[in-house]
A = this chain, B = another copy of it.
Amino acid sequence: MIKAVLIGYGNVNSHLLKALANSNKTAVVQLYTRSEIQLPTAFQSIPHTQDLNELKEADVYIVAISDDAILDFSENLPLNNQLVVHTSGGVSIDNLSKKNRRGVFYPLQTFSKDTVVDFKSIPICIEADDPKDEALLQAMGEAVSDRVVKINSDERAKIHVAAVFVNNFVNYLYYIGQDILKQDGIPFDILTPLIQETAHKIEDLSPEKAQTGPAKRNDKKTIEKHQHLLHNETYKEVYALLTKLIQEHHAK
């Protein structure tokens, strides 16, 4: 049984707490939060503290706080030679204090507190200075997920950039789509099946092979018509840039 103390109760740890508490290979022995919180009924038996000096003994301390706060927080953590991990995609393992054994346990997913996610399907990227700690993170990962991958801090930084493109930027393109329709009073959910299919297609097909549309076909008449239809200057700019890149890519 791997015993974990969870530090912080934001989007990541609220989901991680459920997953770790529900596995028979892991136990959440304590939760620390800075301010008072209300735990879901099912987890109210988990010991909860707001005092860092009262942290219990555990195999791993999981610090899921905002990226900027990790360095200072880990320096001031009243622990020594314990396994302390953060859960951030964009932060190097070196942002953790060396007074403890360091690691990373990064679930590669977008979390909202109220959304239900199937944790089993989420890839967990692990990293540790010490091979024994790495083995423990591997076992903890396998307790909650079907996919655990060793990823060092340089690779994780790249994954984090790629995630910005396929998650944050993609979501903004959804917003643009909605905004274009709004002007004519067309409901956004008419695009939902297309959005889902676009995401599912690349499970079987590479994005390169899945590419369709006027830019891919170099259909200049349609491209011109679309640019004429777009009144928003910034949307025109996005249209022009992405069309140019797709055209150049597929002209090769």
Interface residues of A (CB under 8 A from B): 67-68, 90, 108-110, 112, 115, 117, 121-123, 125, 147, 149, 151, 154-155, 157-178, 180-181, 183-184, 186, 188-208, 210-216, 219, 221-222, 225-226, 229-230, 234-235, 237-239, 241-242, 245-246, 248-249
A sample of 21 cross-chain residue pairs with beta-carbon separation below 8 angstroms, ordered by A number, consists of A110-B197, A112-B210, A123-B190, A147-B190, A157-B225, A158-B184, A159-B186, A161-B239, A162-B178, A163-B177, A164-B213, A167-B212, A168-B214, A168-B216, A168-B242, A172-B245, A174-B207, A175-B208, A196-B199, A199-B199, A238-B241
Q: Please determine whether A122 and B166 come into contact, CB atoms closer than 8 angstroms.
A: no
Which residues of B sit under 8 angstroms from A167, Cβ to Cβ? 194-195, 198, 212-213
- Cβ B242 vs Cβ A238 within 8 A: yes
CB distance from A252 to the nearest CB of B (A): 13
Which residues of chain B are near A219, meaning CB under 8 Å? 67-68
Distance in angstroms between the alpha carbons of A110 and B196 in the assembled complex: 10
A-B complex: 10 closest residue pairs judged by Cβ atoms: A168-B213, A199-B199, A175-B207, A174-B207, A162-B177, A166-B177, A162-B180, A165-B177, A169-B242, A167-B198
Measured in the bound complex, the distance between the Cα atoms of B154 and A61 in whole Å is 58
A198:B229 contact, CB within 8 angstroms: no
Q: In angstroms, how far is the closest chain B Cβ from the Cβ of A132?
A: 25
**What chain B residues lie within 8 Å of A159 (beta carbons)?**
181, 186, 190-191
> Apart from A166-B173, A168-B212, what are 11 other A-B pairs with CB-CB below 8 Å?
A68-B219, A90-B222, A108-B190, A109-B193, A151-B186, A154-B184, A158-B184, A158-B229, A166-B191, A168-B242, A241-B241
Known contacts A110-B198, A194-B109; is A162 also within 8 Å of B181 by CB? yes
Contact residue among B181, B192, B199, B207 (Cβ-Cβ distance under 8 Å from A198)? B199
